[in-house]
Amino acid sequence: MIADTNVGSIDTTTRRRIMTVLFVGVFMAALDSAIIAPAIPALREAFGVDNSQVGLVTIVFGLFTLSSTALMANLSDRYGHKQIYLMNIVLFAIGSLLIVIAPNFLTVLIGRAIQGASTGGITPTAGAVIGDVFPPEERGKMLGLIGATFGMAFLIGPPVASLILTVLSWQWIFLLNLPVAVVIFWLGLRNLPKAPHSEKLPPFDYIGMLVLATMLSSLTLAINRVLDTELGLTLWPWLFGIAFVSLPLLIWIESRSSSPIVPLRLFGTRQLIVTYILCSGAGFGMGSVVFITSVAVAAFNTPAAQVGFWLIPMVICSSAASMIYGRMINRLGARMVMFQGFIILTAGMLILGLGASNFWLYMLATLLIGAGVGTVVGGTLRTVVLEEVQAHERGIAQGLVNMGIAVGNLLVVAVLGAIADSGGGGLQGLSLAYLVAAGVSGVMIVISLALRGRAATA
């Protein structure tokens, strides 16, 4: 475990103010991901685009979030976590403003790209700041609170968006980001600690960044096949090939770079390797939630407009579990937290796969899945990473956690969607998909045992 930097000079009141800045910033970015779904029909009508085209609003956001994460995290380690965090808040506001004033759909996509790129920097940089200002015994609790923001956002987002669309126009969904961003920037300017700036920095790893972006973009486009759909071509095998070839090339480049975009030493211990694998597994579990509403529609003929309300208990469980286990990590240890989290998640998926046609089993399954996701995607893995890396690598290490979760998210949508379709696309296919997801989560139970126990984490 890496020795911690001195955080004793920061008083409790200042830490609370810092946490407010980080929480509201991450919540703003998460909320914008959660409220976009209700706005999709309004965007389609406003710009005269079809379902395939309007889907780019989500795809572009996800693509730029994943591709920018390593860049923003690396910049935060080079130039200071405070500076890059605030820069991303400004970029997010600019992207929101572009969408509000967009004269055409292309401008909307550009705005979403800017929002995605800034979101890729906000969460990992916030995690790095927590490592800078909180002592080890408090980091799990703070990171658990940050993790809970995503559940809160998906609980609050859709109803808020629906209310805005009822009373005002769709532009207000994005316009409200501007005053929030101004407040975050002002509070951050006053309260976030400023890192000492080095006058002489090593050269930036432009080639490594280019190869990494190519690999991640190719992987994303291959999985969701958006280019195949838009161009009417079969490109996904070639894109997978590009991503596959880019990986050894990236390793070769980074091993020779004086300041790599992704330092290979961040994969130098078993603890870190296991953590990144679990991040992908956690993202896989988190992404599986997208099909839960489809199960309700298929099993109980629930109107699509109402099925979102069925997820409210699940989201509440997810947020509560994230905060509760964040507080318990020092007592239980990372291994036991992840072990229990994946057991809960696996149980929920098994129940959903075997008993989805029964209403009460369905509700029990959603509660377990919510609690499991909140536990495994919460602050535990981020806490492990903070304890394993040097202070000047906290940003990129947190970025790798985000990237692992994002890759898991991408894979689960493609894999479970294909399995569900192969099983007929109805309840039978969805049940089979969740049994497969339970199998993946079961493997993560075993892998989580490779984490260190309580004594090493505390």
Between 78 and 211, the more confident residue is: 211
Please state, in angstroms and as integers, the Cα–Cα distance from residue 456 to each residue in 257, 271, 387, following that order. 32, 11, 9
Average pLDDT over residues 147-157: 70
Average pLDDT over residues 231-245: 83
pTM for this one? Answer: 0.76
Instruction: Give the model's pLDDT for residue 4.
Output: 45
Residues in the chain: 458
Instruction: Give the model's pLDDT for residue 307.
Output: 61
Between 236 and 280, the more confident residue is: 280
Average pLDDT over residues 255-267: 80
Between 130 and 425, the more confident residue is: 130
CA dihedral 272, 286, 363, 301 (to 10 degrees): -160
Is 50 exceeded by the pLDDT of residue 336? yes
Please state, in angstroms and as integers, the Cα–Cα distance from residue 45 to each residue in 36, 40, 54, 55, following that order. 14, 9, 10, 13
Instruction: Give the model's pLDDT for residue 2.
Output: 41
Between 83 and 136, the more confident residue is: 83
CA distance 136 to 167: 46
Query: Helices (H), strands (E): how many in the chain?
Result: 21, 0
How confident is the model over 288-329, as pLDDT tens digits? 877 787 788 777 777 655 666 777 788 788 878 887 887 777
> What count of other Cβ atoms lies within 10 Å of the Cβ of residue 69?
29
CA distance 330 to 332: 6
Is 60 exceeded by the pLDDT of residue 431? yes
Helix (H, G, I), strand (E, B) or coil at 305: coil
**Residue 410: what residue type?**
L
Instruction: Give the model's pLDDT for residue 456.
Output: 44
Is 60 exceeded by the pLDDT of residue 197? no
